[in-house]
Amino acid sequence: MSMTPAAAGPVRAAPARVTAKVLKGQKALVTGANSGIGRAAALALGEAGADVVVNYVVDDQAAEQVVAQIKSSGSDAYAHRADVSQESEVQGMFRDMMERFGTIDVLVNNAGLQRDAPFHEMTLAQWNTVIGINLTGQFLCAREAVREFLRRGVVESVSSAAGKIICMSSVHQVIPWGGHANYAASKGGIMMMMESLAQELAPHRIRVNSIAPGAIRTPINRTAWQTPEAYARLMTLIPYDRIGEPVDIARAAVWLASDDSDYVVGATLFVDGGMTLFPGFATGG
């Protein structure tokens, strides 16, 4: 006789399917996918078998180049220009995606920027731009994605979840950052938005998680790595002693989008070389 206690409700086993093309048959949208982390995530999702919408707001050429590279890896892709802070543009982008790809399985809420200033000099425009794109943009895109996830539900042959949202946060969702109050506030906001969404939507088998990158070699933080002096200063903050590369984040995004992470719900995956480990305490304290 089995010693396993009877389950109180329906039992769902973790999916066994693990292939190189872990996202085969899935449709993904990556915001801010023309450069940096978004670009790497879009390429990696494409390589893992997903068809990808490459969202961008400036630089059509860069976006088209990402599209071409995804197509050469065997997946479908197209570029869509939309400002994620504008409701009508976001809704237009999702309508277009429904027409062209039929649905959405994976949203990578990545678009983000910095408008740094000492706090007493920070303009309302700098504040609003950062909150508008980094936080409101994630809300607007997540809402449209969730509406489609709820409408369509789970398609077991595609994924064990009805949809996956990956919010691009930052180590600055927990590390305060002087001179960047707008940016840190936006990332702290993403943390609680993501966790609240994850809690609300898990019963619908929608998985919402975040990635919190540390210092990644992209245009947003060029001044932190482009000279040897700056790089050396940066390394005092990174126990693992190297800057992150966009592909470090892209690999985490593929995993969080795939059924390999089926039981991961409402988590923030720090991909930061140990930046959040209080490196100053390695020898002090």
At residue 165, what are phi and psi to the nearest 5 degrees? -120, 130
Query: Rounded to the nearest whole angstrom, what is the least distance from the CB of residue 40 to ligand BGC in the complex?
Result: 15
Nearer to ligand BGC, 203 or 228 (CB): 228
Instruction: Single out the residue of 215, 249, 256, 269 in contact with ligand BGC (rule: CB under 6 A).
Output: 215
Nearer to ligand BGC, 220 or 247 (CB): 220
Query: Rounded to the nearest whole angstrom, what is the least distance from the CB of residue 119 to ligand BGC in the complex?
Result: 17
Number of residues this chain uses to bind ligand BGC (CB under 6 A): 9
Distance in angstroms (rounded) separating the CA atoms of residues 30 and 111: 8
Query: Rounded to the nearest whole angstrom, what is the least distance from the CB of residue 84 to ligand BGC in the complex?
Result: 16
Nearer to ligand BGC, 17 or 222 (CB): 222
Instruction: Single out the residue of 202, 220, 265, 267 in contact with ligand BGC (rule: CB under 6 A).
Output: 220
Query: Rounded to the nearest whole angstrom, what is the least distance from the CB of residue 98 to ligand BGC in the complex?
Result: 32
Residue with tokens 């872990």: 22
Query: Rounded to the nearest whole angstrom, what is the least distance from the CB of residue 254 to ligand BGC in the complex?
Result: 20
Query: Rounded to the nearest whole angstrom, what is the least distance from the CB of residue 178 to ligand BGC in the complex?
Result: 11
Task: Enter the DSSP assignment of 178.
Answer: T
Q: Hey, which residues between 225 and 284 contact ligand BGC (CB under 6 A)?
A: none
Q: According to the binding rule CB under 6 A, does residue 113 interact with ligand BGC?
A: no
CA dist 94 to 13, 41, 53, 88, 207, Å? Answer: 32, 19, 10, 10, 19
Distance in angstroms (rounded) separating the CA atoms of residues 1 and 3: 6
Helix runs in 36-160, H state only: 36-47, 60-72, 87-101, 124-130, 137-152
Binding mask 71-110 for ligand BGC (x = CB under 6 A): ----------------------------------------
Nearer to ligand BGC, 257 or 271 (CB): 271
Q: According to the binding rule CB under 6 A, does residue 32 interact with ligand BGC?
A: no
Q: Hey, which residues between 145 and 204 contact ligand BGC (CB under 6 A)?
A: 170-172
Active site residue 183: yes
Of the residues 56, 183, 240, 263, which is catalytic? 183
For 66-77, give the secondary structure using H, E and C.
Answer: HHHHHHHCCCCE
Stretch binding ligand BGC (CB under 6 A), from 63-71, 83-91, 192-200, 219-227: 219-227
Instruction: Single out the residue of 62, 154, 224, 247 in contact with ligand BGC (rule: CB under 6 A).
Output: 224
Maximum CA extent, the chain = 72
Asked if 65 and 91 count as a contact pair (C-beta separation under 8 A), the reply is: no
Q: Which long-range contacts (CB under 8 A, 24 or more apart) does 191-198 make?
A: 191/268, 193/135, 193/138, 193/139, 193/142, 193/167, 194/165, 194/167, 194/169, 194/266, 194/268, 195/266, 197/142, 197/146, 197/165, 198/265, 198/266
Distance in angstroms (rounded) separating the CA atoms of residues 211 and 244: 13
Asked if 53 and 71 count as a contact pair (C-beta separation under 8 A), the reply is: no
Q: According to the binding rule CB under 6 A, does residue 214 interact with ligand BGC?
A: yes
Catalytic residues: 183
Site residues for ligand BGC per CB under 6 A? 114, 170-172, 214-215, 220-221, 224
